Structure 1
Amino acid sequence: MVAFLLPLLPMLAVLERLPVDLSMTKNGVPSKTIIAPAKQQQTVTLNWLASYNDSNYWNLPNGGVTFEKQLLISVEEKGTKSVLRLSNPVFLGSGGSGAVFSFRVDQPNQFVHINNQVAIKVSWKASRSTVENECNILRTLESNNVPHVERCLAQVPYDEGRIMIALRPVVMDRTSSLAKLSSTAQENAIRQVVETTIGMLLANVITVDLQPLVSDTGDVLFIDFTEAKQLSSPPSASDLNGLVGFCNEILALIPVECRDKATILFQQALQDMEKRGFTLEDEIYTIVDGIFLGGS
Structure 2
Amino acid sequence: MLVLPPRIVASVWLATSALLASEPTPIPNGIDTNTAVVGTGTSTAFIASASNTLKTQTYDLGNGSVTLSNPLEISVSKNSAKEGRKNYNQSELIRLRDPTLLGSGGGGAVFGYIRDGSSSSLPDVAVKISWSGSAKSVRNECHVLQVLEERGVSTGVEKCLTSLDYPFGDSNRAMIAMEPVVVGKSVSNIADLPTPALRETAVDQLMRIMLQMMAAGVVTTDVQPLISTETGSVLLIDMTEAQEISSTPTFVDLALATSFTSEIWNLVPEDLVQLASNSLLSEWKLLEKSNDRHQWSASIVQILKDQPLLSEVAADYIGEYSDGRK
Fold match (TM-score > 0.5): yes
- Does 2:233 match 1:204? no
- Does 2:185 match 1:177? no
Q: TM-score, normalised by structure 2?
A: 0.72
| 1:128-165 superposed Cα distances (whole Å, 9 cap, x missing partner) | 11111000000011112212111100111114121100
Structure-2 separation of matches of 1:290 and 1:276:
24
1:128 match: 135
Structure-2 separation of matches of 1:39 and 1:138:
26
Shift of 1:70: 1.1
- Does 2:59 match 1:90? no
SS in 2 for 1:59: strand
SS in 1 for 2:114: strand
Structure-2 separation of matches of 1:72 and 1:46:
6
Shift of 1:277: 2.1
| 1:207-242 superposed Cα distances (whole Å, 9 cap, x missing partner) | 011111111221111111000011122111111111
Trace 1:28-67 onto structure 2 (pairs within 5 A). 33-34=2-3, 40=32, 45-47=46-48, 49=50, 54-67=55-68
1:153 match: 161
Structure-2 separation of matches of 1:47 and 1:244:
44
Shift of 1:102: 1.0
Higher relative contact order (CA 8 A, sep 6+): 1
SS in 1 for 2:306: helix
Change over 3 Å in CA distance of 1:81–1:190 after alignment to 2: farther
2:17 match: none
Q: Which amino acid aligns with 1:145?
A: G
Shift of 1:167: 0.8
2:251 match: 237
Trace 1:246-265 onto structure 2 (pairs within 5 A). 246-265=260-279
Count of paired positions: 261
Structure-2 separation of matches of 1:183 and 1:100:
32
Shift of 1:52: 9.9
Q: TM-score, normalised by structure 1?
A: 0.79
Q: Which amino acid aligns with 1:220?
A: V
Structure 1: which 4+ aligned runs deviate by more than 4 Å?
35-39, 41-44, 50-53, 76-80, 113-116
Aligned partner (choices 302, 312, 318) of residue 286 of structure 1: 302
SS in 2 for 1:265: helix
**Which sections of structure 2, spanning at least 5 residues, go unmatched?**
7-29, 37-45, 81-89, 317-326
Instruction: Give the alignment's Cα RMSD to 1 decimal.
Output: 2.8
Structure-2 separation of matches of 1:259 and 1:152:
32
- Does 2:226 match 1:213? yes
Structure-2 separation of matches of 1:77 and 1:233:
26
